[in-house]
Amino acid sequence: MIFTETDLAGAHVIDLQKLEDERGFFARAFCQNEFTEHGLNPVIAQANIAFNLVEGTLRGMHFQYPPAAESKLVRCTRGAILDIIVDLRPESPTYLEHFSVELNEENYRALYVPERFAHGYQTLRDNTETSYQVGEFYTPGTEGGLMFDDPRLGLEWPMPPKVISEKDGSWPSFNEIRGELETRMGIG
């Protein structure tokens, strides 16, 4: 695997290191040892799949608060997405900055999302499927989210959402939950 750290410390784009021959290729998509060597959380508590019927479907911006903050390894196995993450670590020099990357079935890329980041994506094709390996169990009561179009975050989506859940369409703005977010996401 080829790990490329983004400008948001701890977040990595992970490309496959392909061993190719006349059959196609073979590549390692996950290795606990390699994740540990790069300072990433190698724990997988859950593996999830999301299937999206329509181009323009938007999911996000999701996170879980400590003590159930979750890391994610996200890959698009069919179709294409624009994946966006936001640093929600109040002590971080990149607090509230974001990073985006296209993940698709042709590039085989994955995005490693550290704990205490918001995550969301928009599908770029019909019939898009994503796979998540998550480092913590889903824990109701610790989940949170932010408006996908919050001006404070300045996220740039490829198109207006064609499909979005009622829940994702009603997350609060950063300014509405700033105090709670900074308290619950803080360390110590």
Burial group, residue 57, by CB count within 10 angstroms (0-12, 13-18, 19+): buried
Q: Alpha carbon of 64 to those of 77, 179, 181: distances in Å?
A: 24, 16, 10
> Which H/E stretch holds residue 20?
strand 19-21
Alpha-carbon distance 111 to 95, whole Å?
Answer: 19
> 12, 38, 62, 95: which is the annotated catalytic residue?
62
Would residue 132 show up in a list of annotated catalytic residues for this protein? yes
> 65, 112, 121, 132: which is the annotated catalytic residue?
132
Would residue 62 show up in a list of annotated catalytic residues for this protein? yes
Residues noted as catalytic: 62, 132
